[in-house]
Amino acid sequence: MNAKLYIVSTPIGNYEDISLRAINVLKSVDFIICEEFKEARRLLSHYQIEKELVSLNEHNEKESSQEIFLKIKEGKSAALISDCGTPLFSDPGNLLVQMCIAAKIDVVPIPGASSLLPALVGSGFDLDEFYYAGWLSPKSEIRKKELLRLKGIKELIVLMETPYRLKAILTDVSKIFGASTKIVVAFDLTLPTEKYFRGTVSEILKSVIEKNLKGEFVLLINNRAAK
């Protein structure tokens, strides 16, 4: 397993959602690259894995990537994990991956948990095509401009957002796409509280306000042109 970088997907909530291959890789590598030590230690403790941890996050990415790259180049094997789910989706690590590829060091993805596909397959929408828009700006005015741009894309649009902005983003979607637009909020995926809210923006926004919902979610907007 020398001189390799493994990109290892970890559970998004339910610790049973990890592959045997992912566990074997985490046990076998020389060290593990993580965003936050606390989250990584909790995860590894659950699987009874003890490894050297190296931090790589948005605050130290450039410096840490260089240090990690040199360790791998010396013949070490490493596993890159994020706080949860599949690394590199709006998470740091891409610079390190690019450095390894440029140096012809094997980069090996270990597929697994992701919030994107469960949200899609549980939505009930046609999945032949969709547009992944990722994360919008936390700033209200910029976010509204981004949503206006997305309104011109006549596809199923997939958005990610932080738990505490669910009400805000639904309010913006209602104003820009229209209150009757069909959406799905895939809420607390893989957890006991998992729920799919399906309906119009106005219906779901009402439920969110009444229940004061706060949790991880994926938002799908059906912006396809009527046929």
Cα separation, 47 vs 26, in Å, equals 10
Ramachandran category for residue 80: left, alpha or beta (phi over 0 → left; psi -120 to 50 → alpha): beta
Is the pLDDT at 7 greater than 90? The verdict is yes
Tell me the fold of 4-110.
Cobalt-precorrin-4 Transmethylase; domain 1 (3.40.1010)
**Does the domain formed by 116-222 have CATH 3.30.950.10?**
yes
Q: In this predicted structure, what is the pLDDT of residue 164?
A: 87
Token pair for 78: 């490493």
- Please give the average per-residue pLDDT across 162-180, as a whole number: 94
- Please give the average per-residue pLDDT across 205-220, as a whole number: 92
Q: How confident is the model at residue 151 (pLDDT cuts 50, 70, 90)?
A: very high
- Tokens 């690259």, residue? 33
Q: What is the pLDDT of residues 80-124, one digit of tens each?
A: 999 989 999 878 899 999 999 999 999 999 999 899 999 999 999
**Cα dihedral 56→60→63→68 (10° resolution):** -10
Q: How confident is the model at residue 219 (pLDDT cuts 50, 70, 90)?
A: very high
Is the pLDDT at 1 greater than 60? The verdict is no
Amino acid in the structure at residue 107:
V
- Tokens 């992701």, residue? 114
Q: Identify the sign of the CA torsion 227, 173, 186, 18.
A: positive
Taking the domains of the chain in order of start, what are their residue ranges?
A: 4-110, 116-222
Q: In this predicted structure, what is the pLDDT of residue 163?
A: 86
CA 40 to chain centre: 16
- Please give the average per-residue pLDDT across 146-158, as a whole number: 96
- Please give the average per-residue pLDDT across 204-208, as a whole number: 95
Crossing angle for the helix pair 61-73 and 94-102, nearest 10 degrees? 40
Q: In this predicted structure, what is the pLDDT of residue 226?
A: 59
Q: Which helix H or strand E contains 206, and what residues bound it?
A: helix 201-211
Q: What is the pLDDT of residues 55-78, one digit of tens each?
A: 998 889 899 999 999 999 999 999
The closest of 78, 97, 73 to 29, measured between CA atoms, is 78
Is the pLDDT at 128 greater than 60? The verdict is yes
The closest of 79, 95, 67, 71 to 43, measured between CA atoms, is 79
Q: In this predicted structure, what is the pLDDT of residue 162?
A: 87
Is the pLDDT at 227 greater than 80? The verdict is no
Is residue 90 within 8 Å of 134, Cβ to Cβ?
yes
- Please give the average per-residue pLDDT across 3-19, as a whole number: 95
Mean pLDDT score across all residues of the chain? 94
